[in-house]
Structure 1
Amino acid sequence: MTPIQLKTGAPGARILGFGSYRPRRRVTNAELSEVMETNDEWIQSRVGIAERRWASEDETLVEMAVAAGGKALAASGLAPDEVDLVVLATASLQYPIPGIGPQVAHRLGIPRPGAFDLNAGCAGFCYSLEMASNAVRSGSARNVLVVGAERLTDVTDQSDRATAVIFADGAGAVVVGAADEPGIGPVVWGSDGDQHSAIEMVAGNDGKMIMAGQTVYRWATTKLTATLEQAMAAAGVGPDDIDVFAPHQANLRIIESMHKKVGFPERTVVARDIVTTGNTSAASIPLALSALLESGEAKSGDLALVLGYGAGLTFAGQVLRLP
Structure 2
Amino acid sequence: MSEIIPVISATGLFTPPESVSNAELVESFNAYVDLFNARHAAEIAAGSVQELAPSSVEFIEKASGIKSRFVMAKGPVLDPETMAPRWRERTNDELSVLAEMGVKAAQDALAAAGRDARDVDAVLCACSNLERPYPAIAIEIQNALGIEGFGFDMNVACSSATFGIQTAADYIRAGNARSVLVVSPEICTGHNNMKNRDSHFIFGDVATAVLVEAKDVAPAQHWEIVGTKLKTVFSNNIRNNFGFLNCASPEGIGAPDKLFVQEGRKVFKEVVPMVAAMIVEESDRLGIEAAALRRLWLHQANQGMNRLISQRVLGHEANEDESPTVLDTYGNTSSAGSIIAFHKHNTDLGAGDLGVICSFGAGYSAGTVFVRKAA
TM-score (norm. length: structure 1): 0.89
Please identify, of 229-238 and 144-153, the stretch whose mean Cα deviation from structure 2 is larger. Answer: 229-238
Write the mapping of 1:167-316 to structure 2, written as runs, cut at 5 A.
167-179=203-215, 183-193=224-234, 195-202=235-242, 203=246, 204=251, 205-206=254-255, 207-263=258-314, 269-293=322-346, 296-298=347-349, 302-316=353-367
Residue of structure 1 in register with 2:142 after alignment? 105
Distance 1:9 1:171 in 2: 35
CA contact (8 A) 2:284 2:290 kept: no
1:41 counterpart SS class: helix
Write the mapping of 1:66-85 to structure 2, written as runs, cut at 5 A.
66-85=103-122
**CA drift at 1:213:** 1.5
**CA drift at 1:198:** 2.6
Confirm whether residue 160 of structure 1 aligns to residue 153 of structure 2: no
Residue of structure 2 in register with 1:5 after alignment? none
**CA drift at 1:299:** 5.5
Unaligned 5+ runs, structure 1: 1-7
Distance 1:239 1:45 in 2: 29
Q: Higher relative CO (CA 8 A, sep ≥ 6), structure 1 or 2?
A: 1
CA contact (8 A) 2:8 2:223 kept: no
Distance 1:159 1:9 in 2: 56
Distance 1:94 1:303 in 2: 36
**CA drift at 1:10:** 4.7
Which amino acid in the other structure matches residue 95 of structure 1?
Answer: R
Alignment counterpart, residue 171 of structure 2, candidates 135, 146, 150? 135
Give the paired residue count.
312
CA contact (8 A) 1:10 1:178 kept: no
TM-score (norm. length: structure 2): 0.77
**CA drift at 1:135:** 0.5
Distance 1:144 1:94 in 2: 22
CA contact (8 A) 1:81 1:109 kept: yes
Distance 1:27 1:65 in 2: 21
Unaligned 5+ runs, structure 2: 30-53, 74-86, 89-95, 217-221
Which amino acid in the other structure matches residue 200 of structure 1?
Answer: N
Identity %: 27
Distance 1:30 1:322 in 2: 40
Compute the RMSD of aligned alpha carbons.
2.3
Residue of structure 1 in register with 2:126 after alignment? 89
Distance 1:289 1:161 in 2: 30
Point out the structure with max Rg over C-alpha: 2
**CA drift at 1:60:** 2.2
Query: Given the superposition, is the C-alpha separation of residues 109 and 9 from structure 1 closer, same or farther in structure 2, using an over 3 Å criterion?
Result: farther
**CA drift at 1:253:** 0.7
**CA drift at 1:264:** 5.7
**CA drift at 1:95:** 2.4
1:185 counterpart SS class: strand
Distance 1:70 1:61 in 2: 14
Confirm whether residue 40 of structure 1 aligns to residue 57 of structure 2: yes
Distance 1:44 1:301 in 2: 36
2:236 counterpart SS class: helix
Distance 1:77 1:264 in 2: 39
Please identify, of 173-182 and 137-146, the stretch whose mean Cα deviation from structure 2 is larger. Answer: 173-182
